[in-house]
Amino acid sequence: MKQLTRFAADYVGYVLKGGTKFYAWMGSLAVLMIGMMYVFYLQNTEGLIVTGMTSQIHDGLYFANLVFLVGVAAGAVTIVFPAYVYHHEGMHKVAVLGEMLAITAVIMVMMFVFAHMGRPDRLWHMIPPWGIYSFSSMLGWDVLVLNGYLFLNLVCGFYYLWVKYTGGQVNKKWFMPLVYIAIVWALSIHTVTAFLISTMPARPMWFHSMMPIRFISTAFAAGPALIILIFMIVRNNTKFWVDDSAIKLLATIVTWCLGIALFLTMSEVVVELYARTEHANGLYYLMFGLHGLTNLVPWFWSAVVLMVGAFILFLMPRFRNDMKLLPIPCVMAFAGIWIEKGMGLIVPGFIPTPIGEVTEYYPSFVEWLLTLGIWAFGFFILTILLKGAIGILQGEIKYGAAK
């Protein structure tokens, strides 16, 4: 117990120390978090009427971010898998950082679930076995597997840091099985999220079996793209060095998973629009507009330009292997997938409605500020987790060290 108390105290003490840049970054995030708390209070006192969601379109910006962030959480396995299964030395060095990202992403997903429900006092309905929607609702199953993934990453990540902190040895008899379970579990969380929307026959745009593999491919593109950007920031702002071999492997994963995602998207466009029926109206609205409503058309084509442009740049060795140019296609891929998998997938599923109503959705200021606040909270937690983890990996935090 004494060691655990000292571990927590040393971890927190190290994280709280920083320069002007660190405090400015954390302060900026804190401002957005205060704004988030205000609009969350507003939403829960006045109701979801303050959002842009309606009876026709009841899943909007919150649900779009939820779906996207589950992919980011699952994408962390692109570090853990090569590190522990293929014993990639460069990946093994940073595997725990990937687990910190997974922890953060799942926490953000839970916050978007909380925001999306509208009535936080009813959250217990998804807690098995007491909640009436815990097993009958696919969202309940999604929350269940997400909590399992969060638990696995918390145990694996902080146990590894604990061993480094105390100078001991990892107990591989139980640690490695947990790592392998976490690898498989990462696939399950995004598969269940895909089932969350693809099991709705009243929504033709979502109702097809390609959705899970499409989700997995975009997850393994957006997740590693974000990880590369984080590794670049770590290399430029800390003494911790991330090997080029790890970054190049992640870039290769992004390249081919992004290519697969684009292929699946183009296949869907051809199949749906070649012999267009009323079931293709959601996709047609997304691409070209419907009945004069064109709100999402610029979003869709922006996503296409970003994703195709990023894929072309990733195929060029000059961009893929140059650590100064690599962030450009990473940002493009991440932004493009956020649009395509978020607003470009969720909202058109409701247009038109099953009874033929056509209405558009505009996120309100409350939704945008709450979303920004949750992202700020996520980066706040991620900064704390990464800074402490790097301190332990570098040996700056260890048990019994002189103060």
**Residue 232 falls inside a structural domain:** no
Query: 114 and 78 in one domain?
Result: yes
**Residue 188 falls inside a structural domain:** no
Instruction: Name the phi and psi angles at 135, rounded to 5.
Output: -115, -20
pLDDT of residue 89: 87
pLDDT of residue 378: 95
DSSP notation for 6-75: HHHHHHHHHHH---HHHHHHHHHHHHHHHHHHHHHHHHHHH-GGGSS--SS----HHHHHHHHHHHHHHH
**Residue 236 falls inside a structural domain:** no
Find the domain containing 283 and state its range: 200-227+242-363
Burial group, residue 236, by CB count within 10 angstroms (0-12, 13-18, 19+): exposed
Angstrom distance (rounded) from CA 53 to CA 59: 7
Query: 75 and 150 in one domain?
Result: yes
Query: 272 and 136 in one domain?
Result: no
Please state, in angstroms and as integers, the Cα–Cα distance from residue 294 to each residue in 95, 217, 285, 291, 363, following that order: 43, 28, 7, 8, 15
Query: 382 and 337 in one domain?
Result: no
**Residue 294 falls inside a structural domain:** yes
Angstrom distance (rounded) from CA 108 to CA 246: 26
Angstrom distance (rounded) from CA 261 to CA 104: 24
Contact 337, 308 (CB under 8 A): no
Query: 148 and 271 in one domain?
Result: no
Residues shown for the chain? 403
Question: pTM to 2 decimals?
Answer: 0.92
Number of domains in the chain: 2
Instruction: Name the phi and psi angles at 72, rounded to 5.
Output: -65, -40
How many CB atoms are located within 10 Å of the residue 40 CB?
Answer: 19
Q: In the chain, which residues have pLDDT < 50?
A: 402-403
**Residue 186 falls inside a structural domain:** no
* Percent of the chain clearing pLDDT 90 (strictly above): 41
Query: 127 and 258 in one domain?
Result: no
Query: 115 and 69 in one domain?
Result: yes
Task: DSSP letter for 348, please.
Answer: G
Round the CA-based radius of gyration of the chain to a whole number and report it.
Answer: 22
pLDDT of residue 134: 62
Each residue's pLDDT tens digit, 85-125? 888 888 988 999 999 999 999 999 989 988 887 777 777 77
Query: 394 and 332 in one domain?
Result: no
Query: 258 and 358 in one domain?
Result: yes
**Residue 237 falls inside a structural domain:** no
pLDDT of residue 161: 92
Query: 358 and 219 in one domain?
Result: yes
pLDDT of residue 158: 92
- The token duo for 393 is 């990996």
Query: 148 and 101 in one domain?
Result: yes
